[in-house]
Structure 1
Amino acid sequence: MRKFTQFMLLAVAMIFSTAAFAQSTVSGTIIDSELNAPLPGANIIEEGTTNGTTSDFDGKFTLKTQSNSGVLVISYVGYGSIRVSFNGNADLGNITLSPDNSLEEIVIVGSGIIDLAEDRNTPIAVSTIKANEIQEKTGNWDLPEVLKSTPSVQNVKGGGFGDGRMFLRGFDQTNTAFLLNGQPINGMEDGKMYWSNWSGVLDVANAVQVQRGLGSSKLAISSVGGTVNIVTKTIDRKKGGFVQQMIGNDDYTKTSAYYSTGKSEKGWSFSALLGHWQGDGYVNYTHGQGQTYFLSAGYQPNENNTFNFLLTGAPQWHAAAGRGSIGDFLENGRRYNSWNETGVSSPNNLEGDVYPGGRNIYHKPVANLSWDWNINEKSALSTVLYGSLGRGAFASERISNGVGFVRGSFNNHNWFGLVTNYNNELSETLNLNVGADIRTYNGIHFRGVNEFIGISSVDESSGYSGDYTITDTYGGINPWNMVFNPNTDHDQRMDRDYEEVITYYGVFGQLEYTKDKFSAFFQGALSNQDHQREEFFFTAEEGVSEKSKKVSNIGYNVKLGAAYEINENHKVFVNTGYYSRQPFHDDLFVNTRNSNDLINPEVENQKITGLEAGYQFGGEWISANLNVYHTIWDNRTLLSSNGEDQDTPAYEGYQTQGVKQVHSGVELEVMTRPMDNLRVNGFLALGEWQFDGSATQRTFNGDGEEIGTATEIDIDGFNVGGAAQVTAGINADYEFLERVSIDGAWNWYNDMHSEGSLSQNPLSLPSYDTVDAGFSYKMLVGEDDKNSIQFRLNINNIFDEVYLESVNGNTAASSDPSQNFKGVNINNNGRFGYGRTWNVSVRYNF
């Protein structure tokens, strides 16, 4: 018995010692397949046990296993789970998870050019919308509508298709940088974005990242409010595609088809998307239609080199909505269009609705060629060469008794550029990025005849050609013709005819230090921008053009920041930066339409100082971001108007120089996963955006002629208008059955103010809130359930809230309550938000 007891004690000791010896330590990094970015909060479980952990902010994890070999089950909400084998102590390296509703793993081409926040260890204020959410919730909206559930973002829809505007931290989209795969796409002349030109970009988007404030971009770009990175499909590893049909309110319909060959054994891959949309528009007489095309050809001859050619465009035309007073909308309804309503006097009202009021016709094909070269394990070079040919016009009829012509105000351009970035891991703690950004832009602006109606010519006169007859037409109503038809000769143009050349060239660099839990970076950029304008119409000598003086401005920016990871769940950071930003081309001249005269005194660089700090918390089922910011924007030139149409005698435009704005705020964003099938997110943004000091204001009529003399105006303490300074929102997704889910979003906008002249403090506008809802069902079909059919329903403003979305004017409230709408004088120009809208789609993935 004694020997048996000794034997048992020895056996137990051996078992325990063997078990202890069999334990091992396994580590790795969980990566998002679409963005090649870390996934914090991913679950890692040793199969067959309850032993597990979660990944930290950088996607990294370390797990002491209960056995020497086995399998790890790795999962993340919204992504497909995978199983990874281990044997002994091991670093498993990068482990990639793909969204569970995606058929392909995506390769990001030009990864060195696309400045995603995750590429830098020092954080910024950022929100990312992934492919599956974009696909489901976009519907028939433009990009700004998709981003409204992120802090400090507001979308103002406008009237017609693609006429909306986005505000970020109170700055409009002319002062927010938009990048398509790292390529700048804001207008070179004025920074504007026309979403009708990008109507198909979300069909091929893998992700959209909103970087608020200083951002992580190394380019010397106009990111006062922030930076929006749009990352599209390029090379798909797997073969497959989709066909989708969508219908919506007001006879909207959209058909899209996408296919990818996947990557062949020889390294080639091809993908393409074609789409067509059309609809009547929510606002009366704002119908439109367009197409989307996307072509990508990739080649990977070896592991170290990737080439990709991309071509995309969205030719379209859509009727525009005229402005109107708040009283006009109250009398005629939210769908009222002052240019086209029956019985409304308008010089552009033509029977038969050939050109309803005014029609935007545009085609802007964009092409780029990128090359990613992994030189060795520690260095890489990314380069993209791009170009676009924008062609189009705002067309309106000039008709009398059914006879006349359609006049087009053409805004064409030829734009070419190159961005290159070299990355080198100097050591385990230091990483260096250096690069160059070169752009050249030729803007071509004139008025001409789109088509004749009942006549074949029109008499005209100009300083360039004297008295002459116009017999040529350009473009017609087909946006495809805009690109492939040549420009009309100068003696076949009317009213205005000028060009400008803008050349930009700069260098940039970033040095980042990372050791243990501390990281810091320094970033800088230096650039020069040349401007020159050439006049063909208003000239002193017939047939001889006149060029302006060439204006050259040096600009630069510097950024630096640091972060500290308190532990795997808590991280803090602080960033600061200073921009000396060159003025826009349109800010330099007294009148860009008909004058080479430069503003006197000349417009100097804008001065932008930014400071931000943040705290990030990441847990197993909840994570949160808290950001504070303070931005000073000094020496700004502000262009505004009294809200009247530019072709009417009542129009007044204002150019205000020396404007100083101060934007401060706090943003809280919370993401929760209380259950595997439930996600609840929310945000609250509190801002205070005001003008500071005084400024100099000039007034111009619709022809660009200055009225009176420049005056100094006191704007100290005036509120910045256009966007709500306080916003909040809650959105949730709940999968109540397998592959069946519902979702909803509530958004609230408060502390809003009007836009317009700064002659007095903008008006305070009433707050409003909207509720959106959606339903999704995914049915697996085909062999081994590899294919699927997806059904999606979106309902926006489900309770049909009536609200003022924007107001242009500052006429004070009337003492007569009947002359006010929720405290706002109805004689101010304004626009009401859309009522209830909907869309339904069916998508077959294969």
Structure 2
Amino acid sequence: MKVNFTKKTALTALVTLSTASVYFAQNVKDSLPEKSKDIKEVVITGVADIAKDRKTPVAVSNIKEAQIVQKLGNQEFPEILNTTPSVYTTKSGGGFGDSRITIRGFDQENIAVLINGVPINDMENGRVYWSNWAGLSDVTSDMQVQRGLGSSKLAIASVGGTINILTKAADKRQMGKVMVGIGNDGYLKSLFSYNTGKTDKGWSSSFLMSRTAGSTYADGTKYEGYNYYFALGFQPNKQHDFQFTITGAPQWHNQRSSSVKISDAIKYGGTEDTPNRRYNADWGYITGSDGIAREYSFRKNYFHKPILSLNWDWKISRTSKLATVLYASFGRGGGTGDLGGAWTGNFKLDSKKGTYSPIMTYASTFRNTQGLYDFDAIMAYNQGYDMSQYGVALNPTPYNAGAYQNVIAPDGSTVRVTSGILRRASINSHNWYGILSNFSNKINDNLRFSVGIDSRYYKGFHYRVISDFLGNNSYTDSSNKNIKAPNIISNSFSTAPKWNAFGTKVDPVKDRIIYSNDSVVKWIGGFGQLEYSNENLSAFVQGSISDQGFQRIDSFMLQGDTSKGTDTTTKTKYLIGYNIKGGSNLNIDRNNNIFVNIGYYSRQPFFEAVYLNNTNNVNPELKNEKIFSIEFGYGFRSSIFNANLNLYRTTWNDQFRRVSWNDNSGARFTANLLGLNEIHQGLEFDFDAKPTKIIHFNGMFSIGDYHYNNNPTAYALDDQTNQVISKNTLEIKNSKVGNKAQMTASLGTSIRPTNWFSFNATYRYADNLYSNYDPTRGGEAIKLPDYGLLDLGANLKWKLTARQEFVLNANVYNVLDKVYISDMYTNIAADADASKNWNGINKNNLVYFGFGRTWAASLSFTF
């Protein structure tokens, strides 16, 4: 039997389920202990929307501050969630802060991340760049993961789940902390924090400063990052509470953003059994004026994103309260990459046109025997020296990358050639302002309602500049159509993050290359919720509506030219989105509870789906994404054993997706996928057990089925010009969604024989992990080998006084040094010749290997 879910079906099912739950609750035996009916116990309160056990009908996992402090070490912040059902996190390329997380098979742009109730997903593309929040683990007091549509009332990107992060409040008790941490590959962290506590007049403050530096496990990934946090609280009376916070994490880090062939990981420092997991194709050494060779990378990220917020909680009366937060964020920075190419000295003939064009090659040609970039050779080529050993001709335009010069083709015709290689920086800065306000009122002992507004304004600034000429003196660019003659660029810009977020000024005409455009996203939304709660039952229904406006401003378009859109500045394109969701939880008795939730989203696409291919043309196929989700859950609670079981199904239709890949020559391409449909469904189980005060066990198992449900169209673009170069239909219906482990499991134990010592061990397992797609090939997703990892940790406390203690934490990750593939970005089938495969995977596939054995230790003193 085929069932078609529609908005009407979803609403009808929601009302029916809620009504049935209420009826059952009124007739169930009163086996639960008496509980207060005070408004504080009602399910979803305040701006943060934190779910409560046996109350809120969603799948929830909580991570406490102590767990983060003890286990995170030098791992990425999202990795603390790796033992949560249906969560798959990897270090991706392995650069500092470059990790990624998926929940129920959905990427992090479809996972809502909130800090103190404020959404932080990028308003243009929904992504969360964890390097911008590198110090978040230092100030987190609690983190909650709600899988599925979640309990948040906002119209946010919680398709796969919601991560609620609560930072330390200013009125925390008076205390100070000093910490130093060390780890593999030169990891060094230092931290100082102090809380004043609350004065008699209601004032309080909190301060934290930290620095982290070193390299990750991957080669060529040096980094340096800082984190600052300041909170000021004022509670003049019981009715009003004000909290002001400012936090930021200026950082730079060399990246490994290019996945590598398995064959290269074997060739460059590896063996057939153990490929070189550290191999990074994006870096090399460059010799400075002092004659010293230093680490240098084409791929470097640098950013500083201070965020300020002012929270005001107003208890209007015994039954009413208003929670409001004003916030602003100013992001400055970008990422680097190579630009330009080298002429091989050869030509190719267009048989149809009968004309010749030069054959170019890319920076990846200049590699030494270790597989690293030979930056000294690139600089020599740029200056006109003979670098024919790399298969290139003499540079026809030395010292001026991108300049045109005439050369003679084989038929005697004149052909224009440009040449020269340098490092560019793609700037992605923004200003972001918002207000979020929620009013809640208790109608009676069982009912309450809440309404609120969510208003945001975002302006992004996107352009490219030169970060390093690499021996060139200038770069000739003709991208700005408002300049009649080619623009000769002679200024370069530092890749150090600016502590002053309003620092460097870039001339919009003389300094910008390739593209220069601004994006404006305007957002106004409203939401409402009705909740019912008694001793046995809690239920809610909620809805939200939002109006998003998208505007694009392209300063490189010719003023008055409408061939690529509506002049340099578009009219604002408005799109309405909405959602309705709800659910109910029934506590059957002291031990058992069941819940159900259901929801439907009509969500606006991200900015890049509105204006395609770096033009001001509105996408003619623009439409909202449609998400429908339903979930059932069961919980068991006792004094020594707790467990949860969840079943879910989510359909996600009419998506826009942008994917990227490298071809065999090293050139990077992207593709727009239009009208993509997916189905995500699965089962989750987790438990924790405390048979004695000394031993604690926890574990989870999840299995999912994430697959594509249609054959979308892919428009391939050149990464440097953003021009469409091909159009393909991807035959992927019923194929698996890639780079998300569809089966995960973990088992952990913590042993605390004394109050001053504890030991923990965790084994986690991933299977049913499939490759991503290369849009140029098609074919089936490739199933990757399964893997399991063992982590060990220990915690030692030495208490001096009631307020003073030393704490030593030590962790070893991947203790058994397991070799495994965590991410794969191509789907080349296994070769019939087994010698051309590695563990059954074709060696020509582009992958990231997971890190080998790593470690971290820290010593802190609290006073």
TM-score category, normalised to shorter length: 0.7 to 0.9
Amino acid at match of 1:112: G
> Offset of 1:588 from its aligned partner?
1.8
TM-superposed CA distance for 1:356, in Å, is: 1.7
CA 1:738–1:92 in 2, change beyond 3 Å: closer, same or farther?
farther
User: What residue number does 1:19 align with?
Assistant: none
The answer to whether the 8 Å contact 2:39/2:319 transfers is no
Matching of residue 504 in structure 1 with residue 523 in structure 2: yes
Provide the residue aligned with 2:323 in structure 1: 382
Query: Partner residue of 1:328?
Result: 264
The aligned amino acid for 1:141 is: Q
How far residue 640 of structure 1 moved from its aligned partner, in angstroms, is: 1.6
Corresponding position of 2:635: 616
Give the deviation of 1:352 after TM superposition. 3.6
Indicate yes or no: 2:399 matched with 1:463.
no
What is the match of residue 200 of structure 1?
A: 135
Cα displacement string for residues 452-511 of structure 1 (whole angstroms, at most 9, x for unaligned residues): 677775544421233344354445424426642234333321111111100011001110
Can you list the C-alpha shifts for 1:334-384, whole angstroms capped at 9, x where unaligned? Answer: 1001122579xxxxxx98446422211111111101100011111110000
Q: Percent identity?
A: 37
Q: Cα distance 1:201–1:589, how it changes in 2: closer, same or farther (>3 A)? A: same
Match of 1:749 in 2: 766
Counterpart of 1:135? 69
CA distance in 2 between counterparts of 1:170 and 1:240 reads 41
Q: Does 1:440 align with 2:457?
A: yes
Residue 555 of structure 2 is matched in structure 1 by 536
Aligned-pair distance for 1:810?
1.0
Indicate the residue corresponding to 1:635 in structure 2. 654
SS at match of 1:490: coil
Counterpart position of 2:597: 575
Q: Which residue of 2 aligns with 1:100?
A: none
Residue identity in the other structure for 2:128: M
Aligned to 2:532: 513
Give unpaired runs (5+ residues) of structure 2: 1-31, 269-275, 340-377, 384-398, 400-421
TM-score (norm 2): 0.81
The 8 Å contact of residues 284 and 297 in structure 2, kept in 1 or not, is answered as no
Q: Specify the alignment match of 1:804 in structure 2.
A: 821
Deviation digits for residues 102-148 of structure 1 (CA, Å, limit 9, x no counterpart) = xxxxxxxx971101012993321010000110111111222211000
* AA of the residue aligned to 1:327: S
1:451 Cα deviation from its structure 2 partner: 5.7
**Match for residue 566 of structure 1?**
588
In 2: Cα distance, 1:129 partner to 1:211 partner: 11
Task: Please state whether the residue corresponding to 2:185 is helix, strand or coil.
Answer: coil
In structure 2, what residue type is equivalent to 1:440? Answer: Y
Aligned AA for 1:325?
A: K
Determine the C-alpha separation between the residues in 2 that align with 1:193 and 1:704. Answer: 26
* Equivalent position of 2:213 in the other structure: 278
8 Å contact kept, 2:811–2:856: yes
How many residues are matched?
736
Superposed, which structure 2 residues align to 1:587-598 within 5 Å?
587-592=609-614, 595-598=615-618
Point out the more displaced range, 113-122 or 725-734. Answer: 113-122
Q: Residues 14-58 of structure 1: CA distance to partner in whole angstroms, max 9, x if unpaired?
A: xxxxxxxxxxxxxxxxxxxxxxxxxxxxxxxxxxxxxxxxxxxxx
2:686 to 665, 669, 673: 669
CA offset at residue 767 of structure 1? Answer: 0.5
Match of 1:69 in 2: none
Q: Deviations over 1:646-692 (max 9, x none)?
A: xx674342222111111110100111111112110000001111111
Which of residues 219, 241, 261 in structure 2 aligns to 1:306?
241
- What is the CA–CA distance in structure 2 between the aligned matches of 1:709 and 1:478, rounded to whole Å? 37
Residues 519-569 of structure 1: CA distance to partner in whole angstroms, max 9, x if unpaired? 221010000111011111243669x97013422110000002122111111
1:416 to 424, 433, 440: 433
SS in 2 for 1:798: coil
Quote how far apart the aligned CAs of 1:591 are.
1.2
Confirm whether residue 145 of structure 1 aligns to residue 79 of structure 2: yes
- Residue 409 of structure 1: CA displacement? 1.1
- 1:666-725 CA-to-partner distances (Å, cap 9, x unmatched) read 100111111112110000001111111332222222235554664444322111111110
The aligned counterpart of 2:196 is: 261
**How far 1:778 sits from its partner (Å)?**
0.5
Contact 2:449-2:529 within 8 A present in 1 as well = yes
Give distance in 1, aligned partners of 2:543 and 2:560. Answer: 47
Which amino acid is the alignment partner of residue 331 of structure 1? K
Contact kept, 8 Å, 1:245 with 1:256, in 2: the verdict is: yes
Deviates more, 1:769-778 or 1:737-746: 737-746
Q: Distance in 1 between matches of 2:827 and 2:661?
A: 9
Alignment-derived partner of residue 210 in structure 1? 145
Query: Following TM superposition, by how much is the alpha carbon of 1:327 offset from its aligned partner in structure 2, in angstroms?
Result: 1.2
Distance in 2 of aligned mates of 1:351 and 1:662: 54
Measured in 2, the distance between the counterparts of 1:140 and 1:388 equals 27
Mapped to 2, the partners of 1:602 and 1:719 lie a distance apart of: 25
Instruction: Please say if residues 536 and 545 of structure 1, whose CA atoms lie closer than 8 Å, have aligned partners that are also in contact.
Output: no
Distance 1:338 1:179 in 2: 35
Q: Normalised by the size of structure 1, how large is the TM-score?
A: 0.83
- Aligned partner letter, 1:428: D
Q: Name the counterpart of 2:362.
A: none
2:48 alignment counterpart: 114
Contiguous gaps of at least 5 residues in structure 1: 1-59, 64-90, 97-109, 344-349
The 8 Å contact of residues 451 and 476 in structure 1, kept in 2 or not, is answered as no
**Aligned to 1:728, what secondary structure does the other structure show?**
strand
Q: Is the 8 A contact 2:758 2:795 kept in 1?
A: yes
What is the deviation of 1:326? 1.4
Pairing 1:54-203 to 2, within 5 Å after superposition: 112-118=46-52, 121-158=55-92, 159-203=94-138
Distance 1:725 1:380, change over 3 A: same
Larger mean CA deviation between 311-320 and 139-148 belongs to 139-148
Q: Which residue of 1 aligns with 2:505?
A: 486
RMSD, aligned CA: 2.7
- Whole-angstrom CA distance in 2 between matches of 1:353 and 1:327: 27
Q: Distance in 1 between matches of 2:627 and 2:172?
A: 43
* Secondary structure of residue in 2 paired with 1:548: coil
Task: Give the corresponding residue for 2:710.
Answer: 693
| CA–CA separation in structure 2 for the residues paired with 1:379 and 1:95 | 11
Task: State whether residues 193 and 206 of structure 2, in contact with CA within 8 Å, keep that contact through their aligned partners in structure 1.
Answer: yes
Contact 1:558 1:578 in 2 (8 A): yes
Which secondary structure state, in structure 1, belongs to the residue aligned with residue 827 of structure 2? Answer: coil
**Helix, strand or coil: the match of 1:400?**
helix
